[in-house]
Structure 1
Amino acid sequence: MEPATNTTPHAGTDTPRVVKSDEQWRAELDPAAYAVLRKAATERPFTGEYNDTDTEGVYECRGCGAELFRSTTKFASHCGWPSFYDPADSDAVILRKDTSLGMVRVEVLCASCHGHLGHVFEGEGYGTPTDQRYCINSVALRLVPTE
């Protein structure tokens, strides 16, 4: 029997649409995905399954299945994690100030379940339309190839 999932209406960025208990998240996610999505861990660079892939498709949140990024915005940044220059939809992610590890960064969260995805950086000089690099953990994503 699948654990119940609360899909309450989204009330701004403070309330996720998908709400599950910690026990439900632990049961549904493997330990690495749980550590990243629910505890804001980071996978080691150059180890993620989507770091070098060029398969066309949609990248979904591994936690809740929400569409986050499309392969058409993925680019080779050579930073060790999959990089995208724009989310699939402006409401797909939440950006939040992150002052952990003694630095100021911008954390990227799934707008649906508030799972930690990675960070976004600006002004690094990549030749992308937005001048942004969404540096996302592979383990937080699931690639659904287009047919």
Structure 2
Amino acid sequence: MAETPPVTRALVSAPLPQIIEKLGLAIAQAQYALDTNSVEVAKLMSETEVEIGDNSYNLLSLGFQPSFYAFTEATVEAKLSFTMTETTETSVKVGVTAGVSYGVFMAAASIDVAYARKFSVSTEGASSIAARLVSLPPPDIFNQLLKRQYEQPIT
């Protein structure tokens, strides 16, 4: 199978390390975006005032907190199957005809040779990427700073 080694090399040399690297970088970028969003929401909550009676309170002083999220796991799954076949078919047909007519001998021979060589390569592939995102409580230092900032009792 002269065609098999190049095909096999192409299939085996799939860029799995690059796929894993890109997944890791994408998760890191997504995590950064989630963290940045949580910080922006905290800023917005500190600036949003709510009137309760004659007093005005920001959302953080009322106990609201931004949501924080984290990726806990990521999975890359790749499935690849391939089939290679080579078939060779050879057929030989030989025929002899002889006859005598009016004292003349006649003979004929026929040879029919056929040769076929067929190659077939079939590939199938499927991949999936999954990431699990969970909500986390705000960082402890964030909660401690909020408590210190708004220690005055709400009346």
TM superposition score normalised by structure 1: 0.18
More helix as a share of residues: 2
More strand as a share of residues: 2
Pick the structure with greater CA Rg: 2
TM superposition score normalised by structure 2: 0.18
